[in-house]
Amino acid sequence: MGIQINGQNDEISASDGSGTINLNVNGNLTGNVTGQISGIQTSITVGDSFIKPSQIGLGSTTTAGRNVGVNTATGTLIFNSTENVMQLYNGNDWENIGTSFLQATGGTINDYELNNIVYRSHTFTNSQTFQVNEAPTNAKVDALIVAGGGGGGCDRGGGGGAGGYRVVQNQSVSVGSYPVVVGSGGVGSVYYSTNPGTKATAGGDSIFNGIASSGGGVGGGQVADNIMDGTAGGSGGGGGGRNASAGSGGAGNTPAHTPPQGNAGGVGHGNPNPDNSGGGGGGAGGVGNAGSAPGTGGSGGAGASNNYRTGNGQLYAGGGGGGSYSTSVGNPGAGGPGGGGAGSGPTLATSGEVSTGGGGGGGGQTDGYPGGPGIVVVRYQIRTLGTAKATGGDISFTSTKTVHTFTGSGIFTVPAPSGLSSVDFLAVGGGGGGGGSSNTVAGAGGGAGGVHYQTGHSVSAQAYNVTIGGGGIGGQPVFPGGAGDKGDTGANTTAFGFTAGGGGGGGSYPGASDGRPGASSGGTAWNSATITAATGSTTHPGATDIVSQSGQGFGRPGGSNPGTPSNSQGGGAGGGASTAGAPRNPAQGGGVGGVGGSGANYTISGITVTYAGGGGGGGSSAPADNGAGGAGGVGGGGDGGLGDPTGGFAGGAGASNLGSGGGGASGSSPSPSQYSMLHGGNGGSGIVIISYPT
């Protein structure tokens, strides 16, 4: 039947007694519907959205289409075809719903929002494990993988090449463990005024999920075997310059990948003194520049930007600058943006920056400097971004706590009002460098950085400066026949007016046998005449004495065994946060280095991590003593040099951002061309972690 409604208050009823009304409405239908409506067999369709008896269709829109909406109502549902997910507007942001998210541990965690998507990143500055605890079907992660930068050449040396730079997306993961390898920076070459310098070393590879970035190439220079050319790597090292000779730059992107992981180094500039210089190392974003007249070092190639860590772009993998003969006639090359170290003239070069993979600066009439250690960052999408009560550092959330992690110096700011009145915090100082070798006696391990932990520390609305102490540089070998160099003391870490002291550098023989003092003392190299413990605290960590800063670690000297040959002397180990470093082992002939002191466990980050392990003492190369270096202390301490080329003569580096001591160098090497390997390992940088209830 047909119905015509003329008045505003007309009633609709069935006049044929069937109780059924077939009604088509053209235009707007307003007012209230009372009673029961049943038997609807057709859908209600609006555009591509619909309602049916057994389903509701939202239709779809793109991210761009979603964002043009004005005054979106809280509770609005859409299907986002750009991101392939259903989303709910919660009044502030669009939240993904109906999907599960990956849950993982490892590294330093940071949560951030980018382009309306919330991400969690895991930053690895030393080799650890990315542990996936829960994962939806077809879980994917993105990763930045940067290898260690190469060491710079000496004596008009080329800059070190940047570590290989690779970005991979949509890597499939499932529940399980994924080892992460972070490449160390290569060692710079050592300059001798009357002899060819020692060779630099390449940076170490970084690896995630079977995907590797290659270490940066070495800068050329007037070194042993007259190697003037830069070597190939992730990015190539710059060539050295000498008289009429000019070394070529090393090739980048070696081995080859698409897109390329790096670029070639620049050629050196060769002319009679003082008009010669080294070329710049290659970077992830550009080739190294050539050295030029009059004696000007080439600048390092530029790095590349990535935002996986915090959502803000950061440059990585810049090449090292080339060295210049003299600043009176030319200038050293600048480091490439992205952590490349600067070259030198008559003054020192600079190292590649930590956790950037930057190449080391080339030396003028000085040493080349180390490349920067690499970094690995893994990120993935999470559901929502928590709300922090303060700013500063990398921010993450546990089930109950908000955590701010500082791996570099920064500012922790409590706004007003915030409701935040107290925090827990952990501060760890930089680890000491391991001692270098004299080519007869092994170097000692560096001491770990001091540890200061406090709960319930009162805070107010203000800005607090946080300073992260760098690790001490490992002791370098001196020209064969001379003394080695003890490791440098690590730098202090400070937060809220408290100081976690840097670890003491490891000792070297002869002369400077004692380890340097520090929050945890460096070990002592063997010396039959003087056996003296390095100065340091001998109480357990964890004390909160704000005046003396006591309770930060242990010191321990190496042992003595004057009845054995000098080339059988292992080095003592550096102290750790929980236990003293061990002396060399006389029961094994004295040639086995001591084991580094153990670090201490803290769970402030949300997982248990061991911080501040001492460096292991170097071992001798005498076959009867097995040439064994002491193991680094639990908590990232660098291993002592092993005394053989397959295991490595150099002391191992302490783990970055754990405040660990570097390992001592091996007692000797069989070949003059390998003397450059007799250096102590660098200490690991410190860290500050602050937490409070969410």
Task: Give me the pLDDT at residue 340, please.
Answer: 97
User: Exposed e or buried b for every residue in 577-599, given b needs 16+ CB within 10 A?
Assistant: bbbbbbbbbeeebbbbbbbbbbb
- Choose among 331, 330, 306: nearest CA to 318: 306
Alpha carbon distance 436, 477 (integer Å): 5
CA distances from 236 to 16, 55, 570, 628, 667 (A): 92, 61, 36, 33, 31
Say yes or no to pLDDT of 232 above 70.
Answer: yes
Work out the burial of residue 7: count CB atoms within 10 Å of its CB; fewer than 13 is exposed, 13-18 middle, 19 or more buried: exposed
Residues in the chain: 694
Q: Do you find a cis peptide bond into 274, omega within 30 degrees of 0?
A: yes
Same domain membership, residue 395 and residue 336: no
Same domain membership, residue 438 and residue 340: no
What's the whole-number mean pLDDT along residues 549-562? 33
Q: Domain for residue 27, yes or no?
A: no
Task: Give me the pLDDT at residue 583, please.
Answer: 62
CA distances from 177 to 73, 106, 374, 462 (A): 43, 10, 21, 41
Name 558's Cβ contacts closer than 8 Å, sequence gap at least 6: 444, 507, 523, 524, 525, 526, 531, 570, 571, 572, 573, 583, 584, 594, 617
Alpha carbon distance 663, 42 (integer Å): 78
Say yes or no to pLDDT of 15 above 60.
Answer: no
Q: Among positive and negative, which fits the CA dihedral 337, 158, 506, 548?
A: negative
Least confident of 253-267, 412-426, 501-515: 501-515
At residue 302's C-alpha, the angle toward residues 241 and 269, to 5°, is 15
Name 222's Cβ contacts closer than 8 Å, sequence gap at least 6: 154, 155, 156, 157, 196, 197, 228, 240, 242
Same domain membership, residue 341 and residue 301: yes
Which bin fits 224, alpha (ψ -120 to 50), beta or left (φ > 0)? beta
Q: Give the residue carrying structure tokens 């260690």.
A: 148
Least confident of 129-143, 157-171, 240-254, 431-445: 431-445
What's the whole-number mean pLDDT along residues 289-312? 94
Q: How many percent of the chain have pLDDT more than 90? A: 37
- pLDDT tens, 434-487? 888 776 677 888 888 888 888 899 999 999 999 999 998 888 776 554 556 788
Same domain membership, residue 547 and residue 681: yes
Q: How confident is the model at residue 168 (pLDDT cuts 50, 70, 90)?
A: very high
What's the whole-number mean pLDDT along residues 507-521? 53
Same domain membership, residue 206 and residue 59: no
Query: Which residues are bridge partners to 499 per DSSP?
Result: 494
Q: Domain for residue 354, yes or no?
A: yes
**How does the average pLDDT of the chain come out, rounded?**
79
Q: How confident is the model at residue 564 (pLDDT cuts 50, 70, 90)?
A: very low
Alpha carbon distance 386, 400 (integer Å): 11
Amino acid sitting at position 588:
Q
- pLDDT tens, 44-65? 776 677 777 677 777 688 888 7
Task: Give me the pLDDT at residue 584, please.
Answer: 58
Say yes or no to pLDDT of 523 above 60.
Answer: no
Helix (H) or strand (E) holding 64: helix 63-67
Q: 187 lies in which domain range?
A: 102-385
Q: How confident is the model at residue 194 (pLDDT cuts 50, 70, 90)?
A: low
What's the whole-number mean pLDDT along residues 109-118? 87
Q: How confident is the model at residue 69 (pLDDT cuts 50, 70, 90)?
A: low
Residue 509 Cα to chain centre, angstroms: 32
Q: Domain for residue 518, yes or no?
A: yes
Q: Give the residue carrying structure tokens 């190539």.
A: 236
Domain end residue (candidates: 370, 385, 400): 385
Alpha carbon distance 455, 463 (integer Å): 19
Query: Which residues are bridge partners to 296 per DSSP?
Result: 292
Asked if 431 contacts 449 with a C-beta cutoff of 8 angstroms, the reply is yes
The two three-digit tokens of residue 117, written as one number: 């998507």
Amino acid sitting at position 289:
N
Same domain membership, residue 88 and residue 216: no
Alpha carbon distance 610, 654 (integer Å): 13
Phi, psi angle pair for 672, to nearest 5°: -55, -30
- Choose among 430, 444, 488, 436: nearest CA to 596: 444
- pLDDT tens, 573-597? 676 777 776 665 555 555 677 788 8
- Helix/strand/coil percentages in the chain, nearest 5: 5, 20, 75
Q: Domain for residue 29, yes or no?
A: no
Alpha carbon distance 143, 420 (integer Å): 34
Amino acid sitting at position 438:
S
Provide DSSP, 458-525.
E--SSEEEEEPPPPPPPPPPPSTTS---PPPPPPPEEETTEEEPPPPPPP-SSS--SPPPSSS-----
Say yes or no to pLDDT of 520 above 60.
Answer: no
Work out the burial of residue 70: count CB atoms within 10 Å of its CB; fewer than 13 is exposed, 13-18 middle, 19 or more buried: exposed
Same domain membership, residue 440 and residue 357: no
- pLDDT tens, 602-661? 999 888 889 988 888 887 755 444 557 778 888 999 888 876 555 567 888 898 899 999
Which bin fits 568, alpha (ψ -120 to 50), beta or left (φ > 0)? alpha
User: Exposed e or buried b for every residue in 636-649, given b needs 16+ CB within 10 A?
Assistant: bbbbbbbbbeeebb
CA distances from 410 to 392, 393, 599, 660, 688 (A): 7, 7, 25, 21, 10
Task: Give me the pLDDT at residue 539, please.
Answer: 29
What's the whole-number mean pLDDT along residues 7-15? 50
The two three-digit tokens of residue 246, written as one number: 């000019």
Least confident of 141-155, 161-175, 270-284: 270-284
- pLDDT tens, 156-167? 899 999 999 999
Task: Give me the pLDDT at residue 296, please.
Answer: 92
Same domain membership, residue 296 and residue 367: yes
Alpha carbon distance 359, 504 (integer Å): 27
What's the whole-number mean pLDDT along residues 141-158? 95
Same domain membership, residue 450 and residue 371: no
Alpha carbon distance 422, 691 (integer Å): 9
Same domain membership, residue 71 and residue 109: no
Task: Give me the pLDDT at residue 405, please.
Answer: 93
Q: How confident is the model at residue 281 (pLDDT cuts 50, 70, 90)?
A: very high
Alpha carbon distance 320, 318 (integer Å): 7
Least confident of 50-59, 276-285, 368-377: 50-59
Domain end residue (candidates: 334, 355, 385): 385
Q: Domain for residue 615, yes or no?
A: yes
Q: Domain for residue 328, yes or no?
A: yes
Q: Domain for residue 13, yes or no?
A: no
Alpha carbon distance 480, 343 (integer Å): 25
Q: How confident is the model at residue 216 (pLDDT cuts 50, 70, 90)?
A: very high
Work out the burial of residue 265: count CB atoms within 10 Å of its CB; fewer than 13 is exposed, 13-18 middle, 19 or more buried: buried
Q: How confident is the model at residue 563 (pLDDT cuts 50, 70, 90)?
A: very low
Please state the pTM of the whole predicted model. 0.71
Asked if 619 contacts 573 with a C-beta cutoff of 8 angstroms, the reply is no
- Choose among 536, 531, 533, 523: nearest CA to 443: 523
Domain end residue (candidates: 97, 123, 154): 97
For 261, half-sphere exposure in the C-beta direction (CA atoms, 13 angstrom radius) is: 35
Asked if 264 contacts 235 with a C-beta cutoff of 8 angstroms, the reply is yes
Which bin fits 24, alpha (ψ -120 to 50), beta or left (φ > 0)? beta
Helix (H) or strand (E) holding 121: strand 117-124
Task: Give me the pLDDT at residue 493, please.
Answer: 92
Alpha carbon distance 67, 137 (integer Å): 29
Residue 668 Cα to chain centre, angstroms: 31
Task: Give me the pLDDT at residue 674, please.
Answer: 65
Same domain membership, residue 613 and residue 581: yes
Q: Domain for residue 483, yes or no?
A: yes
Name 26's Cβ contacts closer than 8 Å, sequence gap at least 6: none
Domain count, the chain: 3
Alpha carbon distance 424, 443 (integer Å): 38
Same domain membership, residue 348 and residue 210: yes
- Choose among 687, 652, 637: nearest CA to 183: 652
Alpha carbon distance 466, 689 (integer Å): 10
Q: How many other C-beta atoms lie within 10 A of the C-beta of residue 25? A: 7
Q: Give the residue carrying structure tokens 């827990």.
A: 424
